């Protein structure tokens, strides 16, 4: 399929940039977290609290399977942990071009500093949490991506230009 899929760490800008990129390319936009929240009728935090992470991860895989049935080309942003399941990596590749929005810890700290909506970052020191998770995820993000975009210090306009030039 020919979708454009944005992957990357929480706070990398997948959703915000995804919306803008979709508008610029005249495509529709969808986000796996939004789909899950709409499906279950609960926030991501509430799903984690009530049913646990594994249940949420199952839902992520289901969302990818559903997307594979949808024909209209779109920009898809996926939750930061979604590419970690091997099965999901296969689905992502099937869905289209996978773009990794890479961001440094400092940038992520700035964006996630006051965030309360991300259960994976709960408790403890934010920098250590980010560094710990990033150490586990970075290779997978890089390996799953067809295109890696460094986002630090770049505005949306520039990022949209970079992505659209490299993906057509
Ligand atoms: C998660 C990232 C979140 C959301 C959930 C788990 C993760 O999405 O799916 O809180 O494990 O990195 P964003 O990357 O859009 O914040």
Query: Which has the closest alpha carbon to 30: 77, 89, 88?
Result: 77
**DSSP code string of 27-89:** -EEEEHHHHHHHHHTS-HHHHHHHH-HHHHHHHHHHHHHHHTT--S-EEEE--TTGGGSHHHH
- Contact between 94 and 142 (Cβ < 8 Å): no
Cα torsion angle, 150, 146, 159, 122, sign: negative
Percent of the chain with pLDDT over 70: 99
- Residue 60's pLDDT is 98
Q: Residue 38's pLDDT is what? A: 98
**What does the pLDDT read at residue 123?**
82
Q: What is the pLDDT of residue 14?
A: 97
Q: Is the CB of 8 under 6 A from ligand 1?
A: no
Per-residue pLDDT of 35-60, as tens digits, reads: 999 999 999 999 999 999 999 999 99
Q: State which of 8, 10, 76 you would mutate to test the pocket of ligand 1, scoring each by most atoms of that ligand within 8 A of its C-beta.
A: 10
**Cα–Cα distance measured from residue 58 to residue 61, given in angstroms and rounded to the nearest whole number:** 5
CATH number of the domain enclosing 113? 3.40.50.300
What does the mean pLDDT of the chain come to? 96
Closest of 143, 149, 144, 141 to residue 167, by C-alpha:
149
Domain count within the chain: 1
Residue 105 pLDDT: 96
From 36, 8, 5, select the one nearest 18 (Cα to Cα). 5
User: Does 21 score more than 80 pLDDT?
Assistant: yes
Is 130 near ligand 1, meaning CB less than 6 Å away? no
Q: Given pLDDT bands bounded at 50, 70 and 90, which one contains residue 13?
A: very high
Q: Nearest-CA neighbor of 34 among 69, 79, 74?
A: 79
* Rounded-to-integer distance, Cα 158 and Cα 12, Å: 15
- Summary count for the chain: helices (H), strands (E): 8, 5
Determine the structural domain holding residue 111 and report its residue range: 3-167
Give the residue with greater pLDDT, 116 vs 51: 51
Query: Which tokens go with 125?
Result: 């020191």
Mean pLDDT of 91-101: 98
Residue 168 has pLDDT above 80, yes or no: no
Residue 81 Cβ < 6 Å to ligand 1: yes
**pLDDT band, residue 124 (cuts 50/70/90):** confident
Q: Are 130 and 121 in contact (CB under 8 A)?
A: yes
């Amino acid at each position: 399929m020919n979708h454009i899929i944005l992957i990357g760490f929480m706070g990398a800008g997948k959703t915000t940039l995804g919306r803008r990129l979709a508008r610029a390319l005249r495509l529709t936009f969808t986000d796996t977290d939004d789909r899950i929240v709409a499906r279950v009728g609960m926030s991501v935090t509430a799903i984690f609290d009530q049913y646990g992470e594994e249940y949420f991860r199952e839902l992520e895989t289901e969302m990818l399977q559903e997307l594979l049935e949808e024909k209209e080309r779109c920009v898809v942003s996926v939750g930061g942990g979604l590419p970690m399941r091997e099965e999901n990596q296969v689905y992502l590749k099937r869905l289209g071009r996978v773009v990794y929005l890479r961001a440094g810890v400092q940038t992520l700290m700035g964006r996630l500093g006051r965030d309360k909506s991300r259960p994976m970052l709960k408790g403890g020191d934010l920098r250590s949490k980010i560094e710990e998770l990033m150490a586990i995820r970075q290779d997978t993000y890089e390996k799953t991506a067809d295109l890696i975009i460094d986002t630090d210090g770049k505005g949306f306009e520039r990022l949209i230009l970079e992505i659209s030039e490299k993906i057509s």
